[in-house]
Amino acid sequence: MSALALSVLLSLVSALGYAGGAIVQERVAVTSPDSAYLPLRRPGWWGALALNGLGGLLHVVALAYGPLSIVQPLGALTIVFALPLAALCVGRRAGATAWRGAVMATVGLAGLLSLVGSSEDHALDAAQRLAAAIVTGGAVVALMCASRAAHRHPAVRSVLLATAAGTAFGMSSVFTKSVTVDWDGDLDSSGTLFSLALIAVFSVAGVLLSQASYGGGGLTAPLATLTVVNPVLAAVVGILMFGETFRYGTTGTLLALGCGVLAAGGLIMLTTERMEETETPAPEPSPAVGAQITGAVLSSVPRQRVDGEDVRGPAHADGPLTEQGVEPGPGELFDPAADIAPGDADGPAPPGERAPAAPYARRTLPHRRRPRVRS
């Protein structure tokens, strides 16, 4: 097997590892809403970290065997691989809108990364490291605050957190490249120690924010955002600080802008699709369903008897509690004469005689005639 074929194979397996880790992270976020950032007690989360670590390791090995222009675009296939894997592993099928958004984001990202040229490697100086750390930290904190303000919209909150995670991971890659270029085998250098500390901080922040981004945001929107923001930010920093340029001059720059717009359109499509899923109101029950529920509730009322006979007829013994076995409608009026017991049908007592005391106080209920029950 040639070195180019091996790098392509390793890149594809790396994308599969990233996709599997994202699926496990999303399932952990759904089942552990109380531990949004750090679900240490969930074995699945540790498995997701292992899959992501395997994907990163294979990606680094692929870069050692193949050119950057081929390995980096193949990493964008993580978005496309995640959709069939989610349908196969957890039974979640993506709709047509999710597929279109995923393909648009993948094609745009792959085209953008393939157009970024290379330059001579050089490390960041002290001023550049400090400026990059301050700007990146401020951007991550601002995105976190914006996500807290958008807590009523889970899809928007998820995309904001995924953007913060991609920013942290991207700058971690930038500082890693700077350390590898400037590495001379000596850890006593203050610049090297500072860069290593920034790599650790941004890597941990990226892991925590990426886990939190899957809470309520689904799978495709945060994964696509994280997959796009990470390499794009690294490419922008490479162009601004490392002297990298786009291939093919002005034409390549215009094509890169078009690819960026295409990738952004895919992310917007995935986000809006998730917002429509989470903000769709639940359908109200129909009148027929309401009547069935009312009948079921009334049928649970204990039966009452008048003079040893069941109030409800035999045909309606299990139906709503009424006098004739049929519940009166809202338009029926209450008949006072129908509420007189058989023993009181002779009318008022003759003059000079004391009227018999009523065995109970009558109570009138709206829209229902209740029989008189004798003790």
Does 242 reside within a domain? yes
Residue with tokens 């049908």: 345
pLDDT at 91: 77
**Which residues, 6+ apart, have CB-to-CB distance to 344 below 8 Å?**
356
3-class state of residue 305 by DSSP: strand
pLDDT at 143: 94
pLDDT at 90: 77
Rounded to 10°, the helix 220-241/249-278 angle is 150
Quote the Cα angle for 5-11-15, to 5°: 150
User: What DSSP assignment string belongs to 60-76?
Assistant: HHHHHHS-HHHHHHHGG
Does 52 reside within a domain? yes
Does 260 reside within a domain? yes
Mean pLDDT by 10 residues, the chain (375 residues): 82 89 87 77 88 86 74 80 84 81 87 77 79 92 92 87 90 81 66 84 90 83 86 81 79 89 87 66 52 57 50 47 48 48 51 55 55 62
* Token code pair at residue 119: 């330059």
Domain that holds residue 228: 3-278
Does 353 reside within a domain? no
Does 317 reside within a domain? no
Q: Hey, how many other C-beta atoms are within 10 angstroms of the C-beta on 371?
A: 18
Q: In angstroms, what CA-CA distances link 142 with 44, 149, 270?
A: 30, 11, 23
Range 324-328, long-range pairs (CB < 8 A, 24+ positions): 327/298, 327/368, 328/367, 328/368, 328/369
Q: Hey, how many other C-beta atoms are within 10 angstroms of the C-beta on 366?
A: 6
Q: Decide: 239 and 116 in contact? Cβ < 8 Å.
A: yes
Torsion (CA) 246, 61, 177, 68 in degrees, nearest 10: -10
Q: Report how many domains make up the chain.
A: 1
Q: How far apart are CA 139 and CA 237, in angstroms?
A: 14
**Which residues, 6+ apart, have CB-to-CB distance to 363 below 8 Å?**
370
Q: How far apart are CA 192 and CA 247, in angstroms?
A: 32
pLDDT at 134: 93
pLDDT at 6: 87
pLDDT at 86: 85
Does 113 reside within a domain? yes
Residue 103's Cβ-side half-sphere holds a number of Cα atoms within 13 Å equal to 8
pLDDT at 35: 73
Would you say how long the chain is, in residues?
375
Does 202 reside within a domain? yes
pLDDT at 323: 44
